[in-house]
Structures are given as structure tokens and as C-alpha cells.
Structure 1
Amino acid sequence: MHYSQQGYGHRPHKHHFGHGRFGRHGFGRGWDEHGERQGKRRRVFDSAELRLVLLKLIADQPRHGYELIRAIEELSGGFYVPSPGVVYPTLTMLQDMGQIEEAAAAGARKAFAATADGTAELAAKKEDVEALFARLAQLATARERADPAPIRRAMGNLRTVLLYRLDRENVRAETLHEIAAILDEAAQKIERLK
């Protein structure tokens, strides 16, 4: 397909997650084929899965709620950040189930540590836990591959340069043809990329 048939702003469908009060949250908005946000929402983990992820992170080292949110954000490469409104009730549930308990902490925030029951739950569901953390790693990889930020930056740079050059009163016809040739060549190179 020739570049002009595709349309200048064509982008494949990608999913990015939206921003809530505390940063990005676990339900996201996708992008349509024109790079515009859609209203569809997708859940990364169901409640049982999130419970296991939080339990594993707490078993690795005692953490408070904010640290858990940041740890999941880091593991997913910023693709998924559960909201405090999801994390804190899940921590309460884990505590009620006897799988975590408050840890001695010097700071004002309440940190949690895994109990023997929590460690046993993780051992019993080891394969499930590994699969969930593999999913977080896949999200990070997908975000790295699909992040359009460098393209947006380059497009903005191109737009600025074009406006600057074409806004001059004395722009010559040869210059316009040279610019068009450069853009056509870039389009052809992009089209040939694998």
C-alpha cells in the first residue's frame, strides 16, 4: 500500500492507561486507529489476581500501600497503576484472611508483612503468581514497544521546522520542491520498515 493511501496520521490500535487522582490507574483508555483516546476500560487483574500480586510483593519485603502501587507501576513499566481505591480494600481483605499483618515500622505509614498463612498461599499458587508477574513484565515490554512519545516529539519538531520555513515571504518554489522530496523520501523509508 502506498503511503498516501494509508493516511498521514495512521497508527495501529494500542492500549494505554489513563490517569486518576494518584497517577495512572488500573482501568485504561485505548487509542483508536487515529491515535485518539477511546473510552473503553480494561481491567489488568481481577480481584483474586491482584490479591496474589500484593501478597507476593509484601512477602518479598514489608511494604505499605503507596509502595505497593509504585512497585506495580515499576514492574509494568508504567502501563498499569492500581488505584488506592482498589489496593487498600484488598490489603484489608488480605489482613482479614490472616495472610498479612502490620509490620513494625518507624514511619507514619502502616506497612504490612506476610504471615505464615500468606507464605503458604503463595507456595500453593506458585505457578499462578509466576504467570501474573510474567504478565506485568509483558505489559512493560508492550509499553516500551508501543510508546508513541518519540514519534510525537519528532512530528512536533517537523511541524515547527516546516511552519518556520514555509512562513517566510521569500520562500522559493525550488525550496518547496526540495522539502516535498525530503518528506516523500522519509515516507517511503518508513513504509519499507519491518
Structure 2
Amino acid sequence: MRHFFSHRRDPRGSDPRWPGQDGRGEARRFHRDFGDGERGGRGSGPFGRHGHHGGRHGGRGGRFFESGDLRLVLLRLIAERPRHGYELMEEIETRLGGAYRPSPGTIYPTLTLLEELGQIAVSATEGAKKLYAVTPEGERVLAEQKAEADALFARMDAAGGEAPAAGKLQILRAMHNLKLALRLRLGRGNLSEEQLRRIVEAIDATATRIERE
């Protein structure tokens, strides 16, 4: 993974990740330097100061969210139900109609910052994945910023094609489920030729049925 942070030497002679002995100070430096969006000039990207729309990979070249927006988006999504980082990336992409997908280098430092601020907490772990839940402090922040969150989610719907129809969202979710299932199964390895053949046949058969609909 590409590292956005440079290690600083602790003048006190302790952990080089200072400030923050567990490395969480890195998240604060990330948001100080880059805000909540991808790297790029301020105002670039669909949610920047100078526009509301962008291409499929708009977030990769510039900032998609204004400073603080992504924190509020993640906090509200986690308040709906506990989620892990990968699921949050998929949910944002789905809500935006596939127009933008935040990178792990954007999502995980923001989650770390929210945890550091006491607005979310790890409620469970699923293997290497952390499941985040909102805290009372997070609920308080959401209540205080309800108007901002409502406006932000309305802009997200507009950027995704003026509130995508439920059918489109269902298709996107199904596509993500298929991709995740394939990724997990291939990641386990040890696929026999027969298993591989059945998987390929199932995908091909589904594609054929979709074409005929």
C-alpha cells in the first residue's frame, strides 16, 4: 500500500510514529494535509468548490469531498448499521451510482480519526476486518449536524444520477456481492479444475440469461 505519511522522529526518543504512541497521530496528519478526499487541489472533483459532477474515477485525481464531508458520510452510514471499511467503500460507490469509489487510503485514515475522536468504536472483528459501530458521541455529532448530513446525501444522490432508481441500486449491490464472493474464493486458493469449471459456467450462464432479458 502506498504510504501517505512520513515517519517523524519523536524528540523524546520514543516511538517514531509520534504523536500518538499507537500511530493514530498519523490520521490527524493525513487530514491536515489532504482533508477527507483524495489527494489533489482544493475544490477539484465533484464535491469541490467549483463543481458537483465528475467522471468514473473523479476521486483519483482530485478531492471528491470537501474537508469534513467524508467523516460525516461515514459516521451516518455506520449509524445506520455497523459496517467495516470495505463495505463502506462499496456503499458510497453504490449511492453515487458508480461515479466514484473512495480508496482504502482515504477510508481507513478517516475511520481511524473517527475512532480517535470517540465517534465510532470497533464492535467486533471478522478475521482481519474491523466492524465499526457508532458511539453516543457520534450520535450527538450526527444530531447536531443533521442538516449538513441531509444536504450532503442529497448531493451524493444528484452526483449519482439524480437519485438512482431502486432497481439500479439493487443491480449494483448484486454486482458487488459477486465480485466479493469471487475475490474471497480465489483468495483461499486450492481450486480444482472441476470447481473452476463450475464457477466459470455459472458466470457465463448468468451473463447469457441477462442478455436475453
> Is 1:26 matched up with 2:46?
no
Give the match for residue 104 of structure 1.
Answer: 124
Report how far residue 80 of structure 1 moved.
1.4
1:157-168 matches, cutoff 5 A: none
Check conservation: 2:75, 2:120, Cα contact below 8 A.
yes
2:80 to 55, 60, 70: 60
Give the match for residue 75 of structure 1.
Answer: 95
Shift in alpha-carbon separation, 1:51–1:16, aligned structure 2, 3 A: same
| Higher CA-based Rg | 1
Shift in alpha-carbon separation, 1:142–1:63, aligned structure 2, 3 A: same
> Is 1:17 matched up with 2:17?
no
Report how far residue 45 of structure 1 moved.
0.7
Counterpart residue type for residue 69 of structure 1: M
- Look up the SS of the partner of 2:93 in the other structure: helix
Report how far residue 139 of structure 1 moved.
1.0
Shift in alpha-carbon separation, 1:79–1:108, aligned structure 2, 3 A: same
Check conservation: 2:120, 2:138, Cα contact below 8 A.
yes
Shift in alpha-carbon separation, 1:134–1:122, aligned structure 2, 3 A: same
Aligned length: 112
Give the match for residue 34 of structure 1.
Answer: none
Report how far residue 89 of structure 1 moved.
0.3
Distance 1:104 1:110 in 2: 6
Check conservation: 1:63, 1:111, Cα contact below 8 A.
yes
Shift in alpha-carbon separation, 1:17–1:101, aligned structure 2, 3 A: same
Report how far residue 106 of structure 1 moved.
4.3
Give the match for residue 179 of structure 1.
Answer: none
- Look up the SS of the partner of 1:47 in the other structure: coil
After TM superposition, the runs of 4+ consecutive aligned structure 1 residues lying more than 4 A away are none
1:134-149 matches, cutoff 5 A: 134-141=154-161
Check conservation: 2:54, 2:99, Cα contact below 8 A.
no
Shift in alpha-carbon separation, 1:61–1:42, aligned structure 2, 3 A: same
Counterpart residue type for residue 16 of structure 1: G
Distance 1:88 1:119 in 2: 20
Distance 2:162 2:101 in 1: 15
TM-score with structure 2 setting the length? 0.49
- Look up the SS of the partner of 1:110 in the other structure: strand
Counterpart residue type for residue 26 of structure 1: G
Counterpart residue type for residue 88 of structure 1: Y
- Look up the SS of the partner of 1:101 in the other structure: strand
Distance 2:146 2:98 in 1: 25
Where does structure 1 lack aligned partners over 5 or more consecutive residues?
1-13, 19-24, 28-40, 145-194
Check conservation: 1:58, 1:112, Cα contact below 8 A.
yes
Distance 1:47 1:89 in 2: 14
Q: Give the superposed CA RMSD.
A: 2.0
Distance 1:69 1:141 in 2: 18
Counterpart residue type for residue 17 of structure 1: R
Give aligned-pair identity as a percent.
47
TM-score with structure 1 setting the length? 0.53
- Look up the SS of the partner of 1:16 in the other structure: coil
